[in-house]
Amino acid sequence: MSGWGVGDIPDQRDRTVIVTGANSGLGAVAARALAGAGAQVILACRNVDKGRAVAAEIGDRAQVRRLDLADLSSVREFAAGVEGVHVLINNAGVMAVPLRRTVDGFEMQIGTNHLGHFALTGLLLGKISERIVTVSSGAHAIGAIDIDDLNWERRTYKRWPAYGQSKLANLLFTFELQRRLTAAGSAKQAVAAHPGYAATGLQSHTESILDKVMALGNRLAAQSAEMGALPELFAATAAVEPGGYYGPTGLGGTRGHPGPSGCSRRARDELTARSLWDLSERLTGVKFDFTG
């Protein structure tokens, strides 16, 4: 029996979806698929020229707006320009980059992958009517949250543990967001997804020999970006469990059609999730309002 695919996306007419990082890779694939199912899609991109090229392929169901998740002023400006949206897909991310910092001084991976999306979600929460989907990674399993040094100011920076920390933060955030939505009596859903091992441009920005190694891996072992985008599309449109986590169901979760995915014990640590939430509010200055 064939698995869930783009053809199974429910009718998306009269719905608006924001996809961060929709100028390339999984985000571009997701934007095309959602628009193909009838949605109005806002491509939230740092590189608006690349975003416009994707939007031109999609047509009048797509619009491009600038969003730099590594700059909280850009996040605030973007959020202020949104009137209402059914689904937010926190898709954008960076992976295993050399040590550098965001405009606000955060380590780039935790700043972009988690803190930028945390702030964006908080600023938009009252304008989102249905779901918040956040894209994590199987690499969350190598991550650990250091509440005392989240931004690698005292530790010796290590790019892969930093990436793992940011992807673990994505899951802790999603699960804690769902707990808070439920406690507030909200029908909104927080859902997480991961693409397995998918060939995208994400693997080409480490600025090291790993770029060539991962490019070879993309050709030999990875599934396509079209398959890698299916879990986030499933999380955004299918009947899912609130607080669920979805990814490929084949070959150890690295490839195949989407379904429920397991996660590490650390991702289910509610004490760490609350501590990370409080720290994220302090660092970003964004507090969530669950009354709307």
Let me know: does 209 contact 197? Beta carbons within 8 Å.
Answer: no
Task: State the catalytic residues.
Answer: 163
Distance CA 160, CA 177 (A): 26
Q: Residue 291 is which amino acid?
A: T
Residue for token pair 């001084």: 105
* Residue 148, burial from CB neighbour count under 10 angstroms (0-12, 13-18, 19+): exposed
Half-sphere exposure (Cβ direction) of 224: Cα atoms closer than 13 Å: 7
Residue 248 pairs in a beta bridge with 258
Task: At 141, list the tokens.
Answer: 């399993």
Residue 247 and residue 260: Cα distance in Å, rounded?
6
14: left (phi over 0), alpha (psi -120 to 50) or beta: left
